[in-house]
Amino acid sequence: MDNAAGTVDSDYVEDLQLIRSIREDDSFWDCIFEAKLDFLNNDADPFQASCVRPEIADSWVRSYNSGLKPDDSDLGEHITEDELQRVLAENAEIADTARSLIKNVESLNLQNDYIFELLDASGIALVQIGNLDQHQFVGPLYRCDEGNVGTNAHTLCMRYKKPFVVVGPEHYCFALQGLIACAAPVIDQSDTSIAALTLTQSIPEGPLSPSDEKVLVHAMSLVSSLAIALSDQLRINQQEVKLAETEQKYSQASLEAQRFESISRTVINAVKDGVLICNAEGSITLATPEAAHLLKIPPEDLMGTNARSLVGDGRSFEEIVEQGGSTTVIIDEELHETKISQIFGSKSELEGFIISLKEAKRTTLGASRGKVGDTADILFKDILGESTQINKAKALASRFARSTENILLMGESGTGKELFAQAIHNQACPNGPFMSINCAAIPPRLIESELFGYESGSFTGAEKGGKPGKIELAEGGTLFLDEIGDMPLELQATLLRVLENKRVIRVGGKTYKQIDFRLIAATNQNLPKLVSEHRFREDLLYRISVLTVNLPPLRDRIGDALYFARFFLNECQIRTGNGRVTLSDEAAHFVSVYAWPGNVRQLKHAIYSAYYTCENGVINIDDFPLYIAQNLNHRAPAEHLGSEPSGALTQNESSSSVKVQDGCAPASNTASEPFCVAQDSPLPTLSLSDLERIAINEAIRQADGNIAAAAAILDISKATLYRKLKDS
Ligand SMILES: Nc1ncnc2c1ncn2[C@@H]1O[C@H](COP(=O)(O)OP(=O)(O)OP(=O)(O)O)[C@@H](O)[C@H]1O
């Protein structure tokens, strides 16, 4: 039988031999006794005596060295009743368990006086059962160890962590010579002897009878088995206690967790912003109703969804946190401000993120980069129109925005190229700078320094300390090159190089700087035609036109002209706070069929003008600016409404002029010349510059010669108007 307290039979082999030797050999008992006397009186080495076991010899030496007299009869160290009670209280569990195990020991047919004891590690009796009362030292108020009772079975069994028998003369003290004691250790979970079970019997001096031997062997096995059982039971008890403690801790922890979760939920739900909690990988574990509302995704669908792809701005959450934690993202065409914080575990490891989410004001756009650059606050949802043509263009541009490629926007003047550029920028990198240059509006000699920047003293008038160019400033954002068709040919080669290696060198500079930016170029010119005329580099065209969005002219966008007219009327109403103004049937028809060569911009100004001009809250054709109203005689028949789109700028057509529809006189130099409404062929043409000149004249006329007011009507700056007047 193997276990922690030892192997009953094998552990007793030496003891059995000893007992057998004592029974079979009359002189064995005396041999031990003589050896002890020889050791005590003559300093003889007890290890040399063949009848003395080495453990016993060792114990004699220790007992001797402790100063104990072998002929002492007052053995053991007296302890107080208080100390005993304290020890009993400390060992109550082992004592109770032992008691229940040894209660039947009386039923053993022990022939001699005996005492069955459980002694703690220091030798104090915790339990005593038996009738051996003539030896006072075994009384309860004694501590019995090797130092005060000499060689004994319980000390040795605990020392060697195995059952031990000490017979008559093996005891160091003569007073114990009439006893035989079998002891076995009680061993705890950490393999320490914490107590000993001992059966001590009186034994007649001299050889043992066969029945004595039998009883002794039986007693040894019993003690050993009981000690093993006691050790096991204690271990089980300890495990049960641990289990109960663990269960209690667990249930306390889960109660705490529930309480914490309910508090967190209450707090989180009380926050007005939407809140998402996700793990370190980004998988969402909690989403408040407001977050689900803002994201337009049901809360249950949000669980497990990756927050990194849902509310990211191109940077990793870790990067965002490192750079301040705030960012602006566009989700479902709406602008949102997000704040991201990290959640750390008890060992400072990243456990996840808390993301708060709220609708943002446009002013937050670019805020996290210090608002470098031009204003770009247009989102795709601001690009109006109900026609499939504009919606297709928006969908395409929005798809392109997700790439990092350059984008080319082609469309006639006023079709919304600038709006598209801003919307693409805000969808792709709302936190980055939006740098814009109109190549047609800047004198060619200045474009280079504007674009590339310059070093100090690189030309007369250069700012001290140099100046970064727009490309450099577009780092992390967008460079919008409007009217790219007007870029000087010699600069096109430099621009191509910059686009190819994303490195820029300032004018007069010596070192290149790596810049991460996206180019959005726009033009109302037919670039392939410019290429064929050697006014635009073919390689640059290929480079910038990989992703091209053609913006349809208003005349091709079925239903949009009327939609815009009503929208702009409403805008005027809100702006002025005046009453409602409507279009007469005739005016509405006219708006629908007019070709609007200046597209949305022209329509907008025409409606604004008519709004202020009309009387009685109804706009008639006469209320439109003169150059439009004069087309009355040439407007399309009503049945022309909804006809197929015509005249859209394509890469194969020249867009520098606008097609003028059937029945219209060709453009003239005066504002009094009629304009055209959309009709079928034949199609004479009117150049954009003619249109512009006429629009400018009309605006000045309406503004009674006030340039600032005329510029406002034209939706351009006063400076631009002056420049245009100068150029024309
Ligand atoms: N789809 C649209 N929704 C709302 N407004 C629009 C739309 N398209 C154009 N506009 C308005 O028309 C005007 C001209 O737009 P924008 O400047 O973007 O056009 P563009 O194509 O860049 O013109 P240009 O080539 O002359 O620079 C602006 O006032 C703009 O608000």
Query: Taking a C-beta distance cutoff of 8 angstroms, is the pair 339, 329 a contact?
Result: no
**Atom 28 of ligand 1 has which residue's CA nearest to it?**
601
Q: What is the pLDDT of residue 365?
A: 63
Topology (CATH level 3) of domain 271-360: Beta-Lactamase (3.30.450)
The average pLDDT across 136-159 equals: 85
What are the tens digits of pLDDT across the range 148-161?
999 999 999 999 99
Question: 386: Cβ below 6 Å to ligand 1?
Answer: no
* Cα angle value 22/26/28 (rounded, 5°): 50
Question: 688: Cβ below 6 Å to ligand 1?
Answer: no
Question: 505: Cβ below 6 Å to ligand 1?
Answer: no
Backbone angles phi, psi at 659, to 5 degrees: -70, 135
Which region among 175-189, 281-295, 353-367, 530-544 has the lowest average model confidence (pLDDT)? 353-367
Q: What is the pLDDT of residue 104?
A: 62
What ranges in 336-411 are assigned the alpha helix state H?
388-401
Q: How buried is 147 (Cβ within 10 angstroms: 0-12 exposed, 13-18 middle, 19+ buried)? A: middle
From the list 441, 461, 415, the residue with the least C-alpha distance to 554 is: 415
Q: How many residues does the chain have?
A: 728
Q: Which top CATH class is 554-727?
A: mainly alpha
CA of 419 to the centre of ligand 1 (A): 6
List Cα–Cα distances, 293 to 267, 307, 430, in angstroms: 18, 15, 22
Q: What is the pLDDT of residue 237?
A: 84
- The secondary structure element, H or E, covering residue 320 is helix 317-322
Question: 198: Cβ below 6 Å to ligand 1?
Answer: no
**Tokens 């922690």, residue?**
4
From the list 1, 6, 2, 3, the residue with the least C-alpha distance to 184 is: 6
What ranges in 4-91 are assigned the alpha helix state H?
8-11, 13-24, 26-42, 54-65, 81-90
- Round to whole Å and give the CA distance between 717 and 715: 7
Question: 692: Cβ below 6 Å to ligand 1?
Answer: no
Q: What is the pLDDT of residue 220?
A: 81
Question: 418: Cβ below 6 Å to ligand 1?
Answer: yes
> How much of the chain, in percent, has pLDDT values that exceed 70?
83
What ranges in 48-189 are assigned the alpha helix state H?
54-65, 81-90, 92-102, 146-149, 153-160
Mean residue pLDDT across the chain: 81
Question: 384: Cβ below 6 Å to ligand 1?
Answer: yes
CA pseudo-torsion sign 666, 669, 673, 677 = positive
Q: Is the pLDDT of residue 8 over 60?
A: no
DSSP, collapsed to helix, strand or coil, labels residue 101 as: helix
Q: Where in the chain is the domain with CATH 3.40.50.300?
A: 413-550
DSSP, collapsed to helix, strand or coil, labels residue 166 as: strand
Which region among 105-119, 298-312, 439-453 has the lowest average model confidence (pLDDT)? 105-119
- Round to whole Å and give the CA distance between 585 and 171: 130
- Round to whole Å and give the CA distance between 369 and 435: 13
HSE at residue 722, side-chain half, CA atoms within 13 A, is 4
- Round to whole Å and give the CA distance between 135 and 181: 13
Q: Which top CATH class is 413-550?
A: alpha beta
Query: What are the b/e assignments for 645-680, b being 16+ CB within 10 Å?
Result: ebbbbeeeeebbbbbbbbbbbebeeebebbbbbbbe
Which region among 8-22, 240-254, 389-403, 669-683 has the lowest average model confidence (pLDDT)? 669-683
CATH code of the domain made up of 8-237: 3.30.450.40
**pLDDT category of residue 637 using cuts at 50, 70 and 90:** very low
Q: Where in the chain is the domain with CATH 1.10.8.60?
A: 554-727
Q: Is the pLDDT of residue 136 over 50?
A: no
What are the tens digits of pLDDT across the range 390-418?
999 999 999 999 888 999 999 998 999 99
Question: 415: Cβ below 6 Å to ligand 1?
Answer: yes
DSSP letter for 373, please.
B
Of 525, 527, 600, best ligand 1 pocket probe by most atoms within 8 Å of the beta carbon: 600
Q: Cβ of 399: how many Cβ atoms within 10 Å? A: 12
Of 551, 601, 605, 656, best ligand 1 pocket probe by most atoms within 8 Å of the beta carbon: 601
CA of 604 to the centre of ligand 1 (A): 9
Q: Which residues pair with 115 in a beta bridge?
A: 130, 200
List Cα–Cα distances, 204 to 91, 201, 281, in angstroms: 35, 10, 81
CA of 408 to the centre of ligand 1 (A): 16
Q: Where in the chain is the domain with CATH 3.30.450.20?
A: 271-360
What are the tens digits of pLDDT across the range 103-113?
766 655 565 67
CA of 325 to the centre of ligand 1 (A): 35
Backbone angles phi, psi at 514, to 5 degrees: -80, 130
Question: 387: Cβ below 6 Å to ligand 1?
Answer: no
Q: What is the pLDDT of residue 618?
A: 93
Higher pLDDT, 113 or 474: 474
Which residue type occupies 688? Answer: L
Question: 419: Cβ below 6 Å to ligand 1?
Answer: yes
- Round to whole Å and give the CA distance between 218 and 146: 26
**Atom 24 of ligand 1 has which residue's CA nearest to it?**
413
Which residue type occupies 143? Answer: R
Question: 416: Cβ below 6 Å to ligand 1?
Answer: yes
Question: 715: Cβ below 6 Å to ligand 1?
Answer: yes
CA of 411 to the centre of ligand 1 (A): 10
**Tokens 């109804």, residue?**
618
Which residues are within 8 A (CB) of 239 and not within 5 positions of it... i.e. 6 or more apart?
A: none
Q: Where in the chain is the domain with CATH 3.30.450.40?
A: 8-237
CA of 343 to the centre of ligand 1 (A): 45
Query: Taking a C-beta distance cutoff of 8 angstroms, is the pair 432, 371 a contact?
Result: no
Which region among 118-127, 245-254, 312-321, 466-475 has the lowest average model confidence (pLDDT)? 312-321
Q: What is the pLDDT of residue 149?
A: 93
